[in-house]
Amino acid sequence: MTHEEKLVITTALIYHAKQAFTNRSMILNIGIIGLRGMVGSVLQERMHQENDLENCQAHYFSCSQAGQVTTIAGQSHTLGDAYDCHSLAKMHIIIATQGSQYTKDTHPKLRANHWQGYWLDAASYLRTAADSTIILDPINQAAIIQAINDGKKDFIGSNCTVSLMLMAIAGLVENHLVKSIQATTYQAISGAGAKAITELHQQIKITGQQAETQNGLDLANTIHDIIKHQPEKYPQQHIHAPLAVSLIPWIDQEKPNGQSKEEWKAMIETNKILQRERNPIPVDSTCVRTPALRCHSQSLFIELTKNIPLETIETYLSQAHPWLKIIPNTKEASMAKLNPIQCSNQLDILVGRLRKANLGENYIQLFTIGDQLLWGAAEPIRRVLVKIIQHLQKNAHPKKHIANTTAA
């Protein structure tokens, strides 16, 4: 199936979902928590662009600004209290982009009060829960549809690098060609939050004021000496180390086996998405924080199940979904087109440096980049939202999906 054919099918599915909604009188209450964060703001922008909330009643909740009035898409909304379970229980669908601690505090209380609505979440807390479905519909659409039809209610976005990796190699996965994966990730500072972006910029400004009269190696040595011996010159409240002109080969908490939690997620979440928990694909990774501002990059070393020509591999990759963009493996193309700036704020998944490895004909290497705030966070959530709206409008009465709203 060509890119154009898949794009037509995808557009038709979304169109019919919205038509199904328009043709019915049911109004769905959709609660949105975390609107002002990075993922929340990107998600809101995408939902507005695609008219995903057309004919739905959106309710916005805040953890810190309840009662305040805000303007969203030209309309005024009074922010509800994100910890008010009585109000949340009136929602048919809740979209949470507030982080794992909020989910941990709130989700169990709603379920304990017999709320039967749909919980869509960008945070990691529920990803490994037995009843949750990790969502990445270009990869596991059949599993998502089955989960909706089976009455499952928790749909969780995967780790950003896992989503971007699977989007990059979807053509290999669907053709059962992946035997093992080794990944090195180069993750932008925006993955650590908006305040970390500002802090990195402050670090860069401070660095730019050092050794202004020096050049070349003398300049480099002076800056390195300052960072090494006077790290207190650099704000580190959010990044926890100087990152300007440097990198940090560790992201998230420590795990007992020597991995960081970010690295641990790669194998666990990849295999849950692919429904291969009983026969997992080995995935090893090293996750590195870099001073890039937006978009995560990954170097992938993949063992294939059999030897196939590079031309066939490129065909499989490029035909997997409409958003994959192959960058020719040349110096000129790689330097000009294969970098975070080229895919920032875009749905494109860039794949380049594709080649066979010296280890053997069954091994390939590639480099891939994607916007972690889109396919790595917001986009899978808004796409499953459309599917759930379609399901509710076609198959169910809304009152069956919420709790008794008199519950505390």
Q: 322, 349 in Cβ contact below 8 A?
A: no
Task: Given the residues 56, 63, 160, 287, select the one marked as catalytic.
Answer: 160
Instruction: Kindly provide the b/e burial profile for residues 95-130, where b requires at least 16 CB atoms within 10 angstroms of the residue's own CB.
Output: bbbbbeebbeebbeebbebebebbbbbbbbbbbeee
| The dihedral sign for the CA sequence 80, 83, 98, 137 | negative
Q: What's the CA gap between 49 and 52, in Å, rounded?
A: 8
Q: What's the CA gap between 122 and 158, in Å, rounded?
A: 7
Task: Given the residues 59, 107, 296, 401, select the one marked as catalytic.
Answer: 296
As a residue count, the chain comes to 408
Q: What's the CA gap between 88 and 395, in Å, rounded?
A: 23
Q: Any catalytic annotation for residue 287?
A: no
Q: Any catalytic annotation for residue 16?
A: no
Residue 162: Cβ within 10 Å count: 29
Contacts of 198 (CB under 8 A, 6+ apart): none
Return the closest-CA partner of residue 98 out of 139, 38, 145, 151.
38
Q: What's the CA gap between 188 and 193, in Å, rounded?
A: 10
Structure tokens belonging to residue 45:
């922008």
Q: Which amino acid, one-letter code, is at 227? A: I
Q: What's the CA gap between 385 and 94, in Å, rounded?
A: 10
By CB atoms closer than 10 A (0-12, 13-18, 19+), residue 253 is: exposed
Catalytic annotation, residues: 160, 296
